[in-house]
Amino acid sequence: MEPGALNDLRFVGARRRLIEQIRAKGIEDLDLLQLFDQVPRHLFVPEGVRTRAYEDAPLPIGYGQTVSQPSLQALLLQILEPTPQDRVLEIGTGSGYLTALLALAAERVYSVERVRELSTRARFALDAIGLANVALMVGDGSIGWRKFAPYDVITVSAASPSVPRALTDQLADRGRLLLPVGTRRAQTLVLIRREGDRLVRESLEQRCTFVPLLGRYGWGEEEEPGSRRPR
Ligand code: SAH
């Protein structure tokens, strides 16, 4: 942990208020809320938005990408229920903030990001807080990360036109895959559970807007933002 990173007095109170806001949205699990107390979000966002690091809001992280709203990330964690024995695959490392939350809750996190600079920055922040159980890769996460499959938890932080087959193939027995599925502008969360050879699909009510998943099983990179046509 970077000396003083967690106890930086400018941020301690703000972090507590953020946790209260997440609680107010119906996330009651204390272990889960505790994770938000252990990750200094201000180290994961660019300097220009650092003073806003503990708002319950998405923030720009550069390269046209955003770190999601903390209460939405709390909801993802509540649904996925990562345990200390779980191996997690994350698609869309972005800032690395969700990566850090997952790394505290699970055994090991494998995270794929297509923008090299974001992956580099995420690595820097993860190292700063001493999280060593994270492997990062730069590449197209819509095809997963076959080398370390299968995974108990797979989470996708970018909007997909459909559920990539490559990801369900990399799901362990009793594994959970959560991803936003829909158009480039609006999605709902879809949860898939593997039970042996069966995949059980559940569409959740939660409406959300994630940045698009680009790549082989995502959207085409050549399309204008806002286009609804899958490749
Ligand atoms: N959970 C992240 C969210 C970042 S936004 C956070 O807490 O910051 C989603 C990220 O997905 C972006 O950084 C974007 O570059 C990345 N992304 C989009 N398509 C991708 C793909 N096919 N493979 C890997 N990363 C992808």
Q: Is the CB of 115 under 6 A from ligand 1?
A: yes
Please report whether residue 46 resides in a domain.
no
Cβ neighbourhood burial of 155 (10 Å; 0-12, 13-18, 19+): buried
Is the distance from the beta carbon of residue 167 to the nearest atom of ligand 1 less than 6 Å? no
Q: Report if residue 105 sits inside a domain.
A: yes
How many distinct structural domains can be found in the chain?
1
Q: Beta partners for 151?
A: 171
Q: Is the CB of 140 under 6 A from ligand 1?
A: yes
Q: Residue 228: what pLDDT?
A: 45
The pLDDT assigned to 9 comes to 79
Per-residue pLDDT at 227: 44
Residue range(s) defining the domain that contains residue 106? 62-208
Which residue puts its alpha carbon closest to atom 18 of ligand 1? Answer: 213
Q: Report the C-alpha gap between 119 and 67 in whole angstroms.
A: 13
- The string of DSSP codes covering 189-207 is EEEEEEETTEEEEEEEEEE
Residues catalogued as catalytic: 68
Q: What is the pTM of this model?
A: 0.94
State the distance from the centre of ligand 1 to the C-alpha of 123, rounded, in angstroms: 14
Put the strands of the sheet holding 134-138 in their side by side order: 134-138, 108-113, 87-91, 151-156, 171-182, 187-195, 198-208
Residue 5's pLDDT band, with cuts at 50, 70 and 90, is low
**Is the Cβ atom of 92 under 6 angstroms away from ligand 1?**
yes
Instruction: Give the residue-averaged pLDDT of 39-66.
Output: 96
Question: CA dist 186 to 24, 80, 161, 183, Å?
Answer: 24, 21, 10, 5
Sequence-ordered alpha helix ranges (H) in the chain: 9-24, 30-38, 70-80, 97-105, 116-128, 165-169
Is 193 within 8 Å of 175 (Cβ atoms)? Answer: yes
CB distance 158 to ligand 1 below 6 Å: yes
pLDDT digits (tens, 9 = 90+) for 167-188: 999 999 999 999 999 999 999 9
CA of 171 to the centre of ligand 1 (A): 20
Task: Decide if 210 contacts 160 (C-beta within 8 A).
Answer: no
Atom of ligand 1 nearest to the CA of 142: 22
Q: Distance from the CA of 2 to the center of ligand 1, in angstroms? A: 25
Please tell me the distance from the alpha carbon of residue 208 to that of residue 184, in angstroms, as a whole number. 11
Q: Does 17 fall in a domain?
A: no
pLDDT value of position 8? 77
Within-domain flag for 197? yes
Residue 92 within any structural domain of the chain: yes
Tell me: pLDDT of 223 over 60: no
193 within domain boundaries = yes
Q: What is the CATH number of the domain that holds 115?
A: 3.40.50.150
Task: Find the mean pLDDT for residues 187-196.
Answer: 97
Task: Indicate whether 221 belongs to any domain.
Answer: no
pLDDT(231) > 60: no
Q: How many C-beta atoms lie closer than 10 Å to residue 228's C-beta?
A: 12
Q: Take atom 2 of ligand 1 and give the residue whose Cα is closest.
A: 94
The reply to whether 39 falls in a domain is no
